[in-house]
């Protein structure tokens, strides 16, 4: 029996996806084996019809045996796939010793509607007159129909202008929220596919229902109370595809024969919440037999269909439930539920109250210094939900078309005679349904809470797009926030489809001159565009996704956008190799800003030119990966001239930087713009600047993500550790000590005396400063990839830092090849604290290799799985370098490493 196996088959990152929009789907699989050091040497992949029969004519694509170690994102290259086509697939592999696996289990994928011509349905909206197109109420749409045959398969394809929810025969269709998602609606509109086979009644009457609300399409967006930014009419486009047992098919689509009314949702807005009057519910409205004689007719709406694309990222869903941890009575007399966690989503209520009772829930992130409910930082956002009871028994409700960012919920309208039972309330956590892939833990509980806060900041703000914050009248896809956090994001959760979708919108909203809007999708003024470190998301984000997942397609799809951004920068400056014109946010929210300013003291042209160089360097790498040799050569020359211009403009002949801030030192070091003695001098200057601040930072959005990395990589890891572990203001752990459960926008969002930084811009769930998480994974636990030898953790680099003032640290990442782990611990064997025993545990997934670097260890003093380091199974080589670092070349497997006579260098800082 073969010990070589295959598990976790995915297509386009998902298990058995429905409604794919790519005509060349990509397949991935994990290898399993009971042996150490297993590499794939060949694979055989087959695609067949939906019956799962891989014999003869049923095969659609058969690769034969392909000599390749590829097991990630292997691209389909068979006959053109058709709209709605369902396919099965399987794979077998061989390892480097010639061992052959069994065929994998069979997996499936199904295509969506790939061409505009596939749409026979009409865009429909309620007939004007009887229903006001600008009404705040939800629109309820329905269509009754009769099925005359036995149904074998049923699919719904749907999208809308505004939000929609579907019902079929009285049952909710799917569990997705806020469909069709937020895209650049003028250019791209997503379509969702649903399997409704089990909801259709064969040889019987049926009915479809759809509820429409404003959503991002025409609701209130941004802080200037803008509305109708994409259009002023809600509409539905839907097709129900029926495949009968006899092989015939039928399409039931949206058309003017549908009926419309308003529903119990009287108001629903992203920022402001929802009002629901249960007395207005029309029981059975989405079931056959419902009397819709009083409902109004529908009309066609002239709207494009060539902008339609199938759903690209995972949907937003309710991911988990939280119960209130306590009920508070504030000094002002308010009744407040404390959820114990700053979360994003909505509250679910179970009520049994008299008809007409109105219960209002108001949502806030924090309490003020006196313990009262505080909403000042919401600005114009109301975050208020009102439910009016119909009476007559227990009722349940949660908002349909709105989400809130909150920890505290003020309950208004609860009858005095009825004790408020917190068990009647549940917080429903919502975000894009990304798989959690990363875990970090260490011996410092406050750092563990920081990691918790980083994860929850990502959960709350990765809601279809990467928003800056989830609570106030903003919630926009700020490019700067996204690019500084993307590497951390890719540790915590699987974000490749999420960012690929968002980057398609960036490309769609990019200006003709290559400029990139500050927010994606673009809903601000046309001039809100092209700041350094914000627009650079056009290059940094696709490169990072490629790096973390080995996804070359994201580079192919974004290549023109990346190039256009670099060309845009080149056209900006007075000198084509310096970027010294235009608006820039600078080192946003840095602590060295002038009084009354949000912009840090680092010169903006220095920041801009650094990012000009960085984006150009990444574009050169992209061109090389894609084989665009002419572009690679031309832009490499551009990079060299930008780097030279930077040195001439900002660095003196003696190696001093003509700016005196932490961020000014960080960027040239991080982006490789200095080397040799200049690099050493600049790193030493940065270290002095940190020490002068009593081991505190002064950086903002631009410098903070790189600060600890730069210190560690330039020989000042002890300073990086001290920075990360500071507990007083300003520091990452200051907010933790203040009780934060997410990342704050400002270092002092709540001051030591309990007062607030400001009402104007003070989010308590703002993930940008959470970019420190990347350093915790890569520098402290030591889990990293070797970029020079390829992307996607095919080649793993393990550099655990036991000199991190901790007794242990551990990190794990579920990569595209499987789980990678890097763990270390220190044991004080002698009790003197001088020479602790260092132990490590590494897990390397099959079809990858790793290099582990262990400072202070030697071959003679190191054992691997109880064997001498150079003799243990799976250890491909063991070498000591001149710096006293033992380098172990490891194949796949689990390794327990002990250093028997460690150097004092291994002790905590």
Residues whose CB is less than 8 angstroms from the CB of residue 145 and which lie 6 or more positions away in sequence, other chains included: 205, 206, 207, 208, 252
907 pLDDT exceeds 50?
no
pLDDT, mean of residues 569-574: 90
Write out the two tokens for 185: 């609606």
The pLDDT confidence band at residue 622, using thresholds 50, 70 and 90, is very high
The pLDDT confidence band at residue 903, using thresholds 50, 70 and 90, is very low
Using CA atoms, how far apart are residues 862 and 879, in angstroms rounded to an integer? Answer: 12
Strand partners, 151: 244
Residues whose CB is less than 8 angstroms from the CB of residue 283 and which lie 6 or more positions away in sequence, other chains included: none
In eight-state DSSP terms, residue 749 is: S
pLDDT in tens, 731-787: 999 999 999 999 999 999 999 998 998 888 899 999 999 999 999 999 999 999 999
Distances from the Cα of 559 to the Cαs of 118, 334, 439, 724, 881, in angstroms?
29, 55, 32, 36, 40
Q: Which of 383, 378, 110, 360 is nearest to 273 (CA)?
A: 383
Using CA atoms, how far apart are residues 563 and 638, in angstroms rounded to an integer? Answer: 12
Distances from the Cα of 174 to the Cαs of 140, 154, 164, 193, 788, in angstroms?
18, 13, 12, 9, 44
902 pLDDT exceeds 60?
no
The average confidence (pLDDT) of the chain is 95
450 pLDDT exceeds 70?
yes
- What stretch of H or E contains 166? strand 163-168
Are 763 and 865 spatial neighbours (Cβ–Cβ below 8 Å)? no
pLDDT in tens, 405-446: 999 999 999 998 888 999 999 999 999 999 999 999 999 999
* Model confidence, pTM: 0.97
pLDDT in tens, 222-255: 888 889 999 999 999 999 999 999 999 999 999 9
Work out the percent of the chain whose per-residue pLDDT is above 90: 92
Q: Which of 700, 775, 261, 267 is nearest to 488 (CA)?
A: 775
Distances from the Cα of 389 to the Cαs of 171, 351, 359, 392, 409, in angstroms?
22, 8, 8, 9, 19
pLDDT in tens, 661-714: 999 999 999 999 999 999 999 999 999 999 999 999 999 999 999 999 999 999
pLDDT in tens, 815-855: 999 999 999 999 976 666 667 889 999 999 999 999 999 99
So which residues are the catalytic ones?
A: 474, 745
Using CA atoms, how far apart are residues 771 and 436, in angstroms rounded to an integer? Answer: 17
Distances from the Cα of 232 to the Cαs of 126, 137, 228, 262, in angstroms?
13, 14, 5, 17
pLDDT, mean of residues 110-126: 98
């Amino acid at each position: 029996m073969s010990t070589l196996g295959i598990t976790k088959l995915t297509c386009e990152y998902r298990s058995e996806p429905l409604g794919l929009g790519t005509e060349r789907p990509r397949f991935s699989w994990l290898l399993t084996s009971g042996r150490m050091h297993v590499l794939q040497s060949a694979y055989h992949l087959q695609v067949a019809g939906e019956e799962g029969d891989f014999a003869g004519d049923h095969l659609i694509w058969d690769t034969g045996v392909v000599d390749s170690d590829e097991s990630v994102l292997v691209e389909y290259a068979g006959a053109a796939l058709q709209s709605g086509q369902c396919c099965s697939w399987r794979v077998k592999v061989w390892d480097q010793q010639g061992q052959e696996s069994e065929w994998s289990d069979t997996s499936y994928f199904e295509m969506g509607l790939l061409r505009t011509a596939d749409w026979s349905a009409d865009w429909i909206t309620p007939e004007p007159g009887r229903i006001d197109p600008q009404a705040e109420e939800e629109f309820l749409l329905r269509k009754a129909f009769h099925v005359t045959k036995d149904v074998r398969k049923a699919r719904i394809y749907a999208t809308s202008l505004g939000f929609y929810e579907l019902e079929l025969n009285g049952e909710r269709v799917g569990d997705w929220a806020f469909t069709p998602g937020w895209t650049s609606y003028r250019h791209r509109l997503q379509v969702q596919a649903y399997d409704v086979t089990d909801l259709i009644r064969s040889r019987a009457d049926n009915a479809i229902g759809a509820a429409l609300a404003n959503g991002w399409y025409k609701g209130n967006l941004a802080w200037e109370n803008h509305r109708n930014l994409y259009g002023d009419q809600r509409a539905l486009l839907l097709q129900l595809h029926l495949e009968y047992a006899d092989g015939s098919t039928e399409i039931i689509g949206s058309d003017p024969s549908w009926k419309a009314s308003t529903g119990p949702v009287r108001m629903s807005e992203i920022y402001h919440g929802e009002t629901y009057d249960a007395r207005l519910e029309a029981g059975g409205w989405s079931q056959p037999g419902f009397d819709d004689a009083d409902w109004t007719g529908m009309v066609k709406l002239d709207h494009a269909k060539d902008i339609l694309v199938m759903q690209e990222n995972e949907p937003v869903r309710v991911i988990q439930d939280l119960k209130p941890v306590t009920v508070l009575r504030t000094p002002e007399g308010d009744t407040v539920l404390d959820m114990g966690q700053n979360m994003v989503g909505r509250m679910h209520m179970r009520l049994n109250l008299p008809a007409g009772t109105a219960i209002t829930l108001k949502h806030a992130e924090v309490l003020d210094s006196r313990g009262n409910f505080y909403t000042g930082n919401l600005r114009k956002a109301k975050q208020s939900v009102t439910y009016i009871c119909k009476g007559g028994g227990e009722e349940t409700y949660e908002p349909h078309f709105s989400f809130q960012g909150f920890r505290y919920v003020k309950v208004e309208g609860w009858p005095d005679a009825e004790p408020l039972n917190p068990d009647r309330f549940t917080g429903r956590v919502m975000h894009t349904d990304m798989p959690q892939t990363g875990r970090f833990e260490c011996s410092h509980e406050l750092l563990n809470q920081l990691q918790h806060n980083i994860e929850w900041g990502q959960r709350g703000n990765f809601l279809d797009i990467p928003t800056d914050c989830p609570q106030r009248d903003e919630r926009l896809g700020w490019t700067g926030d996204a690019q500084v956090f993307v590497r951390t994001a890719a540790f915590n959760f699987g974000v490749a489809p999420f960012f690929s979708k968002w980057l398609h919108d960036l490309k769609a909203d990019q200006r003709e001159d290559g400029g990139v809007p500050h927010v994606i999708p673009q809903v601000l003024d046309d001039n809100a565009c092209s700041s350094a470190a914000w627009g650079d998301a056009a290059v940094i984000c696709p490169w990072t996704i490629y790096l973390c997942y080995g996804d070359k397609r994201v580079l192919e799809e974004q290549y023109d956008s990346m190039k256009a951004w670099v060309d845009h920068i080149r056209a900006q400056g007075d000198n084509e190799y310096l970027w010294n014109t235009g608006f820039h946010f600078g080192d946003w929210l840095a602590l060295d800003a002038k009084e009354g300013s949000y912009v840090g003291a680092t010169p903006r042209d220095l920041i801009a030119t650094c990012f000009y160089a960085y984006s150009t360097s990444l574009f050169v790498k992209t061109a090389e990966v894609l084989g665009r040799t002419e572009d690679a050569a031309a832009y490499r020359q551009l990079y060299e001239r930008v780097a030279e211009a930077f040195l001439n403009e900002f660095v003196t002949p003696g190696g001093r930087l003509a700016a005196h801030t932490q961020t000014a030192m960080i960027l040239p070091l991080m982006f490789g713009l200095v080397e040799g003695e200049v690099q050493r001098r600049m790193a030493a200057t940065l270290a002095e600047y940190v020490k002068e601040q009593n081991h505190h930072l002064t950086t903002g959005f631009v410098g903070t993500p790189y600060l600890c990395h730069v210190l560690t990589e330039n020989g000042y890891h002890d300073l990086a550790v001290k920075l990360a572990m500071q507990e007083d203001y300003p520091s990452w752990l200051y907010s933790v000590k203040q009780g934060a459960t997410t990342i704050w926008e400002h270092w002092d969002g709540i001051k030591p005396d309990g007062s607030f930084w400001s009402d104007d811009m003070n989010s308590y769930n703002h993930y940008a400063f959470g970019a420190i998480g990347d350093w915790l994974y890569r520098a402290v636990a030591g889990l990293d990839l070797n970029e020079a030898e390829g992307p996607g953790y095919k080649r793993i680099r393990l550099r655990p830092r036991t000199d991190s003032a901790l007794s242990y640290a551990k990190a794990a990442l579920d990569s595209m090849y499987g789980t990678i782990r890097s763990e270390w611990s220190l044991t004080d064997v002698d009790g003197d604290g001088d020479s602790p025993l260092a132990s490590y545990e590494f897990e390397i997934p099959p079809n990858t290799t790793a290099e582990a670097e262990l400072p202070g260890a030697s071959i003679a003093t190191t054992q691997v799985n109880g064997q001498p380091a150079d003799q243990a199974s799976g250890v491909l080589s063991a070498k000591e370098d001149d710096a006293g670092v033992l380098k172990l070349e490891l194949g796949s497997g689990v390794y327990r490493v002990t250093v028997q006579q460690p150097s004092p260098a291994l002790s905590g800082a």
